[in-house]
Copies of this chain bind each other. A is one copy, B any other.
Amino acid sequence: MAGTGWTTVNTRLRQVAGGGLLDRRDFLRLGAGFATIAAAGQMPIAQAQGAASARPAWQRMLGQADLPYGQPSGHEAHVQRHLWDTTPETAGFAGWHSPIQHLRGIITPNGLHFAVHHNGIPDIDPEGHRLIIHGLVERPLSFDLARLLRYPLVSAIRFIECAGNTAANALSPTAMDADAQSLSGQVSCAEWTGIPLRVLLAEAGVKPGARWVVAEGADGGSHARSLPLQKLMDDAVLALYQNGERLRPSQGYPMRLLVPGWEGNVNVKWLHRLEVTDQPAHTKDESGLYTRVLEDGGLLQFAPTMEVKSIITQPSGQQLLPEPGFYEISGLAWSGRGGIRRVEVSGDGGRSWAAAQLQSPVLDKAFTRFSIPWHWTGGRHLLMSRAEDCQGQRQPDRKAWKAQYARHSFNHYNAIQAWRVNRDGRVENHYG
């Protein structure tokens, strides 16, 4: 639309920080006279009459039949998960990334929820699956699914993030040119429904001296993690449903552990055994991959809380801004410690910051969607977001994050993400 006059900045729009960040209220109240910038989003109908006068084919015929289980449009086939690397899908570590740069709102649809499999997806017959609670309990118990479905259920919208999400930014000495999905797509958010673990543990009767619970999956290879009993009694759930329907096989069908705010792999999928103990089991999964090595050579073990983090998803890596004009900057923030208190956005590489709008409801240990309007005049910009959670925790910059850990450490990376907008409109990963 360059040259039509529609992209001229309306000088009555208030800037709230440098780099073109605008006051959202101007866009939501009437009569603000913002048409001259927002109108980059449309064209006068006179120009469009050629297109409008001919009715497209789909308006001139009956449509197609629906499906008993609906599917996305074929035009959205590019919106799918992809594997981070070329490791085999069914042996060893397979990490499926969610296309966060194509999603809006806070709910991740079930077909696009990120997933990590250590041993592929077991083909479990739900009739033959059992959940066993044993160890330091008064009454060892074995539950089948039909009985579990009769228990009192609770629901909550919660994120899950892989410990290794955004590993490339932790490890790569220069910023890898990749999209948001590849860099940070191992996080998702859904409404989970299940049985509070404390109900099942109370039923088994936890003995004095019990401090830990070893949770084991029914996948070949038996992924297992040790969890403090206190956390399971606090807010952990035996999840049976995700976004209304029963869990997908990829998410642990017929049941998984949901441990809100803690790294993905402790949310044990295909859960079949909880052993109550007095100490952690030091399973292969917790002694190896999910231990962090500190800068001084010390080990950080059993520290699974995912720290406060945020990412701008629109615009983000490898996207192309087609022309100067108005855009909405939108992104996601989350914290394993609770709710998000505040997200700030910078359009000038951190020299100035403005508070983004948080979409309500802001829920504990869930995605919070933030946004701020932005006028891109065609220059080079560094876009950044930084979140603060309800405990006052804030994201470090990359240098500060790196200083804490050994050079090869990559788990729990939560540094501020910067996206560079080039003059040609191309967006690239950047170490700010």
Contacts and interface: CB of A to CB of B under 8 A. Distances in A.
A62 B202 CA distance: 34
Interface string A81-123: 1100000011100101000001111111111110101011111
B245 A28 contact: no
B153 A42 contact: no
Interface string A329-368: 0100000000000000000000000000001010100000
B56 A125 contact: yes
Nearest to A249: B73
Contact of A141 (B42, B103, B132, B150): B42
Interface in A152-208: 152-155, 190-193, 196, 198-199, 202-203, 205
Q: How many identical subunits does the complex contain?
A: 2
B222 A59 contact: yes
A47 to B, nearest CB: 8
A111 B196 contact: no
B244 A107 contact: yes
A69 B245 CA distance: 16
Given A45-B141, A70-B250, 14 more contacts: A24-B152, A28-B199, A45-B132, A45-B139, A52-B132, A56-B125, A58-B122, A59-B122, A62-B120, A65-B94, A72-B110, A73-B254, A105-B191, A109-B110
B104 A89 contact: no
Interface stretch (A32-40, A285-293, A399-407, A416-424): A32-40
Nearest to A77: B69
Contacts of A148: 41
B40 A147 contact: yes
A324 to B, nearest CB: 12
Interface in A258-285: 272
A209 interface: no
Contact of A203 (B38, B143, B222, B369): B38
Contacts of A155: 104-106, 359, 369
